[in-house]
Structure 1
Amino acid sequence: MGKHGIGKCNSNGELLLVVCSEFEMIVTNTMFKQKDECKTIWMHPRSRHWHMIDFIITRCRDKMDIHSTRAMRGAICWTDYQMLRSTVLFRIRQKHNRQGTTKPI
């Protein structure tokens, strides 16, 4: 999925993309160019292939606030999944009223 996705997209992945496009949302996992080991979060026990099965989704208009989304390989979670982390840089904007003065949010 996406420009920097890995592997093939199944029918559920295609459905997710349709829903995201309908509601003007994006999958942040595949926005950034990074190593495959930073994108995949689960390893199949028999085939030992890594898969991307969890996603962080946000509105398209908030795309500039997402700094990175990656799997945390070093986190000790006592599970076969890796934790997925997204770094968000919030930009607080001031509201303008009709008189031209600004109010802090």
Structure 2
Amino acid sequence: MTRRDALVRVIEALHAEIAALKANDIDALEAATSAKLKSIDAVAAAREPSTPEIEELAREAHRLNETCRVYVNLMAANVRRRLQVLAGAPAQSYRPLGGAAIA
């Protein structure tokens, strides 16, 4: 498999991951993640030189992966907030970590 073909498969798998996250479809998410990891291994194994097309595909894959990360973080924040409410603790509003609080 060429590096280009492997990157295209990574991108397809990332689109499938996003769709699975939106639908809360755990089986589809597991399948898409497995396909993504296999394709990433194929990208790493390819020894062809980089081209502008390959670099653009890699940037697209990175952008889609960041979109997946945002979805997962939002879902985790929603679960945390729900658990706090169920436990009787006041739900905290979103606050980025690492920065100084603005008074």
What is the TM-score with the length of structure 2 in the denominator?
Answer: 0.25
Greater relative contact order (Cα < 8 A, sep 6+): 2
- Higher share of residues assigned strand: 1
